[in-house]
């Protein structure tokens, strides 16, 4: 991504946005509204990523020069969709780095419950305000590891698709993903403590994972079967979860089926402070089991990329065993 990343403070930067709308939520807006500068035409408290809701915003809101997404993934993706549809400039101010939405061009949108990533938006600026980010609960920042550490399972799935189906695979791109993984793991302590270095590391690696996906012309180097757990869980429960934490659970689960050192995965995610055990984010045994058993169905219905889920049989006994290991 070629966006200009501004590290430090958001203070006064709103004066440079021209006529602008803000997409945000109560807590993140409260963190920056008195420091941002400028006066937004409208502040929209985002309500979700369903396509009908987003299209309503595009239809009903006034014309502006810039849309500013302030907060987490929902706020950023709402702003991204609006910028794509309206053709206006975008500025992203993540107040948590729990997800890589600010570093990817496509907006996460739900069409009849299934997630797609339409659009191609490069923001004018990504503003990393250390004060806002460090004021959030640590788990909302360490969750940012999920969309980076997922390279581990995604690379396995990509190679499997190459071997089973002849899907294009590139050793150079895969090698860059492995470098990203190594950098993440070697900075685990900084990330867990949400230091400025840890924040910069997460931001840079989110940008780097987007770069390797662009090189592959596919999400393959970063997204694989581990994301199916997240998508299936939200569909089955009708609830929203911290993306990176549920992706972390997916990484552990799919590592088990990949026979790919789940003990190492557990140790490394703990070292980064990534909460990935289902009880830590309020998922019950039955919800977990139904999600694990539902991943194959979701993958088929959503026409997801080929992965380990396509070649293994997942039983209730498997799901119960994983629950025990994770709790």
Q: How confident is the model at residue 1 (pLDDT cuts 50, 70, 90)?
A: low
Q: What domain range includes position 286?
A: 139-326
**In terms of domains, do 118 and 65 share one?**
yes
**In terms of domains, do 147 and 233 share one?**
yes
The CATH number linked to 8 is 3.40.50.1970
The DSSP symbol for 63 reads P
What is the mean pLDDT of the segment spanning 130-155? 96
Q: Which residue from 86, 106, 92 is spatially nearest to 23, judged by alpha carbons?
A: 92
**Residues facing residue 87 across a β-bridge:** none
What is the mean pLDDT of the segment spanning 237-243? 92
**In terms of domains, do 217 and 180 share one?**
yes
Q: Give CA separation, 26 vs 11, 128, 179, 289, in Å.
A: 19, 19, 37, 34
Domain boundary among 81, 99, 134: 134
Residue 322's Cβ-side half-sphere holds a number of Cα atoms within 13 Å equal to 30
**In terms of domains, do 109 and 238 share one?**
no
**In terms of domains, do 185 and 246 share one?**
yes
d(CA 225, CA 156): 9
Give the CA diameter of the chain: 58
Q: Does 112 score more than 90 pLDDT?
A: no
Residue 199's Cβ-side half-sphere holds a number of Cα atoms within 13 Å equal to 24
**In terms of domains, do 262 and 169 share one?**
yes
Q: What digits encode the pLDDT tens for the residues 267-282? A: 999 999 999 999 999 9
**In terms of domains, do 114 and 158 share one?**
no
CB 71, CB 77: distance < 8 Å: no
What is the mean pLDDT of the segment spanning 86-91? 98
Q: Coil, strand, or helix at residue 20?
A: strand
The share of the chain scoring above pLDDT 70, in percent, equals 99
Q: Name the H helices within the chain.
A: 26-36, 51-60, 73-86, 130-135, 139-142, 146-149, 151-165, 171-186, 188-192, 196-216, 226-237, 243-258, 262-272, 285-301, 316-326
What is the mean pLDDT of the segment spanning 255-260? 95
C-alpha torsion angle, residues 19, 78, 108, 126 (rounded to 10) = 50
CB 274, CB 296: distance < 8 Å: no
Domain boundary among 134, 161, 183: 134
Q: Does 254 score more than 80 pLDDT?
A: yes
Domain boundary among 119, 134, 149: 134
The total number of structural domains that make up the chain: 2
Q: How confident is the model at residue 153 (pLDDT cuts 50, 70, 90)?
A: very high
Please, is 204 exposed, middle or buried when counting C-beta atoms within 10 Å of its C-beta (0-12, 13-18, 19+)?
middle
Q: Does 99 score more than 90 pLDDT?
A: no
pTM of the model: 0.90
Q: Does 3 score more than 90 pLDDT?
A: no
CB 23, CB 45: distance < 8 Å: no
Q: How confident is the model at residue 113 (pLDDT cuts 50, 70, 90)?
A: confident
């Amino acid at each position: 991504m070629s966006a200009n990343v501004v590290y430090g403070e958001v203070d006064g930067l709103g004066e440079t946005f021209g006529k602008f709308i803000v997409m945000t939520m109560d807590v993140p807006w409260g963190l920056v509204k008195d420091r941002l500068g400028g006066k937004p035409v409208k502040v929209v408290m985002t309500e979700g990523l369903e396509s009908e809701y987003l299209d309503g915003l595009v239809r009903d809101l006034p014309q502006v020069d810039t849309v500013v997404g302030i907060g987490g993934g929902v706020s950023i993706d709402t702003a991204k969709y609006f910028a794509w549809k309206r053709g206006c400039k975008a500025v992203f101010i993540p107040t948590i780095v729990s997800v890589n939405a600010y570093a990817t061009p496509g907006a996460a949108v739900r069409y009849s419950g299934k997630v797609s990533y339409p659009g191609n938006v490069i923001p004018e600026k990504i503003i990393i305000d250390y004060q806002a980010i460090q004021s959030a609960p640590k788990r909302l920042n360490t969750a940012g590891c999920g969309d980076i550490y997922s390279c581990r399972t995604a690379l396995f799935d990509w190679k499997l698709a190459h071997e089973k189906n002849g899907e294009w695979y590139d050793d150079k791109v895969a090698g860059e993903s492995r470098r990203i993984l190594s950098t993440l793991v070697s900075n685990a302590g900084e990330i867990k403590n949400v230091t400025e270095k840890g924040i910069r590391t997460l931001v840079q690696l989110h940008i780097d994972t987007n770069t390797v996906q662009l090189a592959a012309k596919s999400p393959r180097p970063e997204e694989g079967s581990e994301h199916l757990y997240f998508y299936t869980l939200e569909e089955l429960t009708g609830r929203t979860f911290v993306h990176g934490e549920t992706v972390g659970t997916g990484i552990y689960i799919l590592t088990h089926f990949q026979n790919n050192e789940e003990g190492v995965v557990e140790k490394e995610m703990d070292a980064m402070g990534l909460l990935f055990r289902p009880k830590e984010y309020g998922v019950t045994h039955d919800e977990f089991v139904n999600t694990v058993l539902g991943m194959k169905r979701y993958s088929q219905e959503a026409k997801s990329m080929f992965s380990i889920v396509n070649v293994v049989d997942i039983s209730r006994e498997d799901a119960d065993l994983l629950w025990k290991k994770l709790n």
